[in-house]
């Protein structure tokens, strides 16, 4: 039987693994609860990731990780983490009219901020277009096709 310290060491190891895998979206794994085993931490954390980062129709979001056999959980774990990063960065998963802020830290401690969304906020800054009917030139008025007007 594993001691409480063994469980804590196992949790720390997997928490570092999760933090490394999710560093592209600037997310850290949740802190463990008191007296939580390593296997229970992995199950609850994967369920948390699937609920938070994956769209409801995604195949990994439909799975129940809390009741999944441990051998199956170990196989799905890296796939779920990769899918979480991919889907969180997907602009189609951001509600229309909103932007999602993703903060990343590089190896030097610098923070890079990226915004993801369906539409760019710069789109609304442009001047609205107008239909051109004619131009005024030195020779008189000319319509948009170049013909002279009277």
The pLDDT, as a whole number, for residue 106 is 77
* pTM listed for this prediction: 0.74
Q: Locate the domains of the chain by residue range.
A: 4-91
Q: What is the pLDDT of residues 20-65, one digit of tens each?
A: 999 888 888 888 888 888 889 999 999 999 999 999 999 999 999 9
Query: At 140, is the pLDDT very low, low, confident or very high (cuts 50, 70, 90)?
Result: confident
> CA-CA distance, 100 to 110, in Å (whole number)?
19
pLDDT at 107: 75
Quick check: 16 and 38 in contact, CB under 8 A? Answer: no
pLDDT value for 1? 66
Q: What is the mean pLDDT of residues 106-128?
A: 82
**Predicted local confidence at residue 77, as pLDDT:** 93
Q: Using alpha carbons only, what angle is made at residue 79 by residues 58 and 99, rounded to the nearest 5 degrees?
A: 55
How high is the pLDDT of residue 108? 85
Task: Report the pLDDT value the prediction gives residue 50, as an integer from 0 to 100.
Answer: 93
pLDDT of 138 above 90: no
Determine the angle formed by the axes of helices 70-89 and 38-53, rounding to 10 degrees: 30
Convert 106-116 to b/e letters by CB count within 10 Å (16 or more is b). Answer: eeeeeeeeeeb
Other C-beta atoms lying within 10 Å of the C-beta of residue 119:
13
pLDDT tens-place string over residues 66-106:
999 989 999 999 999 999 999 999 999 998 888 899 988 87
């Amino acid at each position: 039987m594993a001691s409480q310290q063994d469980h804590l060491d196992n949790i720390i190891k997997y928490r570092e693994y999760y933090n490394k895998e999710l560093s592209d979206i600037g997310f850290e794994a949740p802190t463990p609860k008191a007296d939580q085993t390593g296997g229970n931490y992995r199950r609850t954390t994967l369920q948390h990731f699937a609920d938070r980062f994956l769209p409801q129709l995604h195949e990994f979001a439909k799975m129940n990780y809390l009741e999944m056999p441990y051998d199956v959980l170990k196989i799905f774990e890296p796939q779920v983490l990769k899918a979480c990063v991919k889907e969180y960065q997907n602009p189609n998963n951001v509600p229309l009219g909103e932007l999602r802020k993703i903060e990343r830290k590089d190896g030097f401690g610098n923070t890079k901020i990226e915004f993801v969304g369906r539409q760019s906020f710069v789109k609304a800054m442009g001047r609205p277009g107008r239909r051109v009917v004619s131009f005024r030139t030195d020779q008189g008025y000319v319509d948009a096709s170049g013909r002279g007007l009277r």
